[in-house]
Structure 1
Amino acid sequence: MKEYQTITEISGPLVFAEVDEPVGYDEMVEIETPQGETLRGQVLESSDGLVSIQVFEGTGGIDRNASVRFLGETMKMPVTEDLLGRVLDGSGNPIDGGPEIVPEDRVDIVGEAINPYSREYPEEFIQTGVSAIDGMNTLVRGQKLPIFSGSGLPHNELALQIARQASVPEEEEGDDDEEGSEFAVIFGAMGITQEEANEFMQDFERTGALERSVVFMNLADDPAVERQVTPRLVLTTAEYLAFEKGYHVLVILTDITNYCEALREIGAAREEVPGRRGYPGYMYTDLAQLYERAGRIEGKEGSVTQIPILTMPGDDDTHPIPDLTGYITEGQIVMDRDLNSQGIEPPVNVLPSLSRLMDDGIGEGLTREDHGDVSDQMYAAYAEGEDLRDLVNIVGREALSERDNKFLDFADRFETEFVQQGYDTNRSIEETLDLGWDLLSMLPKEALNRIDEDLIEKYYREEEAETAEVEA
């Protein structure tokens, strides 16, 4: 371990030092200030004779007399099954007053990409208990399905609801592939306020969800550099629990926008040439390194499923952060400001939402046989009802046909009964599909052109149809 006192420049969260031997990229560094304080850092860039170091705790107190020690290893996360039930800061240190963590292993946080040949195709259902997700945009084990939200929308409440309620339904009898697999949630918060952190912790403790969770908290007043490390610590822990201990792990990351802002801040300090809207040109690659750590591996029981949450600046879905995220991930859940103003909880707009792996994770043996048809028909009926709302604004409801009025009523009830469920209601997939049939039975049978006739005969509710006729 070699020690230098060759700091040449301090710029924002970065320290530049001269060296006389090669230093590895991402190598860990200790910086000792003249006051005797030891700060941790990581090599961000290394060239002949000069290295740039990002300091996790910030550069306050560092001057040119500080000592720099290169530790010869990259940052590692101490991992153990005992992390379940613990609360850590954004650097992976316990902040819950519990005992010190005794690791079973120390794992490099950068991780390794899953070999595409070894990837197992995601096709097994995860039940979140939220009808707008389970019924219309189903989450599948090993998938990465982000939530696109906006400032002031209740994405934190939805994240907590999913963390509380998410479960892996029991496999059918005779299927022993998943025997012994357990479910765990790893919650990574980046750049949130202290008030939000308190709300998260109160909810985890009140509901008992903390027992099967690991929580990482990076607050808004923590250094931006730490924000870049937090999701990698989260995913390293998830991979260990999934692929070494056999857990089905759901990773919730909020807020990806804060993470990307930290990338931009570091890029500006390094005087990099900016890309779109000032974000680094490598942001796509950086996000892909995080998102692509979701998946399943052949021969391993566990899985890593991701729900990243991002707030779209100005509700703009063409902004670089949601735009690049959409390229990498397998769909998105979109929260809607208009639905939120109507009091719909959660305000999920199913029309722009999408789960590209849904068709592989539903159907007989995974969920109920009618799941796909019910979802397709509700989507089509709701879309038609939305179009008719625009027409009503022009010609009035009296000018519409009886059929059109039924679709208008369907759209209203779809929002107030199917999407609306509150943040404390946990619906099974059977309850969600039964509710879907209640709504579809408002429509005449001949309008259900996306559902197999056998399923209509089995599930169509004649009493609902009669009630709709009387109300009309």
Structure 2
Amino acid sequence: MAIEYLGLSQINGPLVVLEGVQNAAFDEIVEMTVNGNEHRLGRVIEIYNNKAIIQVYEGTEGMALRNTHTRLTGHPMEIGVSESMLGRTFNGIGIPIDGLGDIDADKMLDVNGKPLNPVTREYPRNYIRTGLSAIDGLTTLIRGQKLPIFSGNGLPHDQLAAQIVQQASLGDDTDEKFAIVFAAMGVKYDVADFFRRTFEESGVSDHVAMFINLANDPVVERLITPKVALTLAEYLAFERGMHILVILTDMTSFAEAMREVSSSKGEIPSRKGFPGYLYSELATIYERAGIVKGSKGSVTQIPILTMPNDDITHPIPDLTGYITEGQIVLDRLLQGQSVYPPINVLPSLSRLMKDGIGKGFTREDHQDVANQLFSCYAKVGDARALASVIGEDELSPIDKKYLEFGQAFEHQFVGQDLQENRTILETLNIGWKLLGMLPRKELDRIDTKILDQYYQPADRD
């Protein structure tokens, strides 16, 4: 029989202190009743003698020292999961908020996940098509990869996330099951409504499970949202054999919530006021992607984070870059030139790209085209820097060609319409069309046989 504790000894922000506790365990979930009728969940985050410090997920508003009853459940936080969760919308801790009733769960799973034996992991192969040339062509997303998007305040990462959800697929010639788990943390109501409406109007909501934590929801709830979303993703992937793409936005809100709670606990801050365990907390989320031997499914992650002051050396993007396998960087200058999506391809990379493209996956020329486009676009930067010093009229003919190439590359390859869903072959063909603007002798990153097969000069009749 569970013991119920009456009253609290202290309340501090999202944390409460309970005295006289027996047999409490770290990370144990507690059920709290406020004023006899309002139920909330909390988590034991620290135990000292007979005192337990509890983190209240729904916040401590309305709670007082004498009006709260607390019961220890004896287990960590669990969520009921089922394939029927696809097409549904939940709050940050997995409670349905779409008015369609409760979920008939197949099983209960710990939201912290189970540690995976590294030996059981398989190397990521095959790619996930997003329909965006800058990603599919140059920073290809591989199944089982974690590939973050580094954005900034005011940049269109929300539109980009919505477009990826609408267009993402395993390609045209496959009958494998594919679904998306979308988790939004600390978003404004209009942004959450934008995601809901976009998914419904585009007809993709039936294979999307949404978890939404609003900006006015309790800060502590933000810390559990990505874990709840990933628990569902792991169940669908490793027990139902589905390929799952998880989109987490915005990881900066998650990290700032961690900083706020850490400050409430009185912990010594590290860089920029974040707790010293920020790296390990991010790693516990990002490392829940991958492919496991014996399972047909995979979990692929696209975490989105806004860099404070566009600073890529800020602790959040800095630590994220250490853990993940590449990054996609949005650029404010491209945004100012009306290029959408404003992806700066030079600092962007996908470290697993080489193993999921080429013959048998996309097309045999993919790697060569990507290498050559990177190389040529890097020379565009040199030509622009030179033009800013001596003037465009004084440039050599080849430098002028590179300026033309750069303009066309940004608006025709990187830039595309919000509803434009390009196949990988369309992306590669656009790349060849742009490379045709340059003399053949400039294309030094492509195998001669591939050049003979695909290269066509732009001035050829």
| 1:387 match: secondary structure | helix
Following TM superposition, by how much is the alpha carbon of 1:396 offset from its aligned partner in structure 2, in angstroms? Answer: 1.1
Q: Give matches, 1:390-405, under 5 Å.
A: 390-405=385-400
CA contact (8 A) 1:22 1:48 kept: no
CA contact (8 A) 2:247 2:301 kept: yes
Query: Which of 100, 106, 111 is matched with 1:98 structurally?
Result: 100
Q: Deviation digits for residues 99-134 of structure 1, max 9, x if unmatched? A: 321000110000023211000001211110000000
2:344 maps to 349
| 1:125 match: secondary structure | coil
Structure 2 CA distance, aligned partners of 1:23 and 1:385? 62
CA contact (8 A) 1:131 1:429 kept: yes
Given the alignment of the two structures, is residue 196 of structure 1 paired with residue 197 of structure 2, yes or no? no
2:40 maps to 39
Q: Give matches, 1:285-324, under 5 Å.
A: 285-324=280-319
Query: Which of 77, 81, 84 is matched with 1:82 structurally?
Result: 84
1:55 maps to 56
Unpaired stretches in structure 2, ≥5 consecutive residues: none
Q: Deviation digits for residues 305-343 of structure 1, max 9, x if unmatched? A: 000000000000010000000000000000000000110
Deviation larger for 281-290 or 29-38: 29-38
Runs of at least 4 residues of structure 1 off by over 4 A? Answer: none
Q: What residue identity is the alignment partner of 1:106? A: M
Aligned length: 459
| 1:188 match: secondary structure | strand
1:124 maps to 126
Given the alignment of the two structures, is residue 466 of structure 1 paired with residue 460 of structure 2, yes or no? yes
In the superposition, the TM-score normalised over structure 2's length comes to 0.98
1:174 maps to none
Following TM superposition, by how much is the alpha carbon of 1:297 offset from its aligned partner in structure 2, in angstroms? Answer: 0.5
| 1:129 match: secondary structure | coil
Following TM superposition, by how much is the alpha carbon of 1:5 offset from its aligned partner in structure 2, in angstroms? Answer: 2.4
In the superposition, the TM-score normalised over structure 1's length comes to 0.95
Structure 2 CA distance, aligned partners of 1:399 and 1:430? 38
Structure 2 CA distance, aligned partners of 1:36 and 1:436? 63
Q: What residue identity is the alignment partner of 1:160? A: A
Following TM superposition, by how much is the alpha carbon of 1:379 offset from its aligned partner in structure 2, in angstroms? Answer: 0.5
| 1:7 match: secondary structure | coil
CA contact (8 A) 2:226 2:285 kept: yes
Percent identity over paired residues: 51
Q: What residue identity is the alignment partner of 1:185? A: I
1:108 maps to 110
Q: Give matches, 1:22-421, under 5 Å.
A: 22-65=23-66, 66-170=68-172, 181-421=176-416
Q: What residue identity is the alignment partner of 1:466? A: R
Deviation larger for 300-309 or 113-122: 113-122
Q: What residue identity is the alignment partner of 2:30? A: V
Following TM superposition, by how much is the alpha carbon of 1:73 offset from its aligned partner in structure 2, in angstroms? Answer: 1.2
CA contact (8 A) 2:405 2:434 kept: yes
Structure 2 CA distance, aligned partners of 1:115 and 1:124? 22
CA contact (8 A) 2:21 2:52 kept: no
CA contact (8 A) 2:219 2:257 kept: yes
Following TM superposition, by how much is the alpha carbon of 1:64 offset from its aligned partner in structure 2, in angstroms? Answer: 1.9
Following TM superposition, by how much is the alpha carbon of 1:180 offset from its aligned partner in structure 2, in angstroms? Answer: 5.2
CA contact (8 A) 1:14 1:55 kept: yes
Structure 2 CA distance, aligned partners of 1:220 and 1:27? 26
Structure 2 CA distance, aligned partners of 1:113 and 1:293? 9
CA contact (8 A) 2:139 2:348 kept: yes
1:432 maps to 427
CA contact (8 A) 2:28 2:43 kept: yes
CA contact (8 A) 2:330 2:343 kept: yes
2:444 maps to 449
Q: Deviation digits for residues 117-154 of structure 1, max 9, x if unmatched? A: 00000121111000000000000000000000000000
Structure 2 CA distance, aligned partners of 1:317 and 1:20? 45
Q: Deviation digits for residues 62-94 of structure 1, max 9, x if unmatched? A: 222222111111111111111111011111111
Aligned CA RMSD, in angstroms, stands at 1.2
Q: What residue identity is the alignment partner of 1:132? A: A
Deviation larger for 43-52 or 246-255: 43-52
Structure 1 CA distance, aligned partners of 2:374 and 2:87? 39
Q: What residue identity is the alignment partner of 2:6? A: Q
CA contact (8 A) 1:444 1:465 kept: no
| 1:72 match: secondary structure | coil
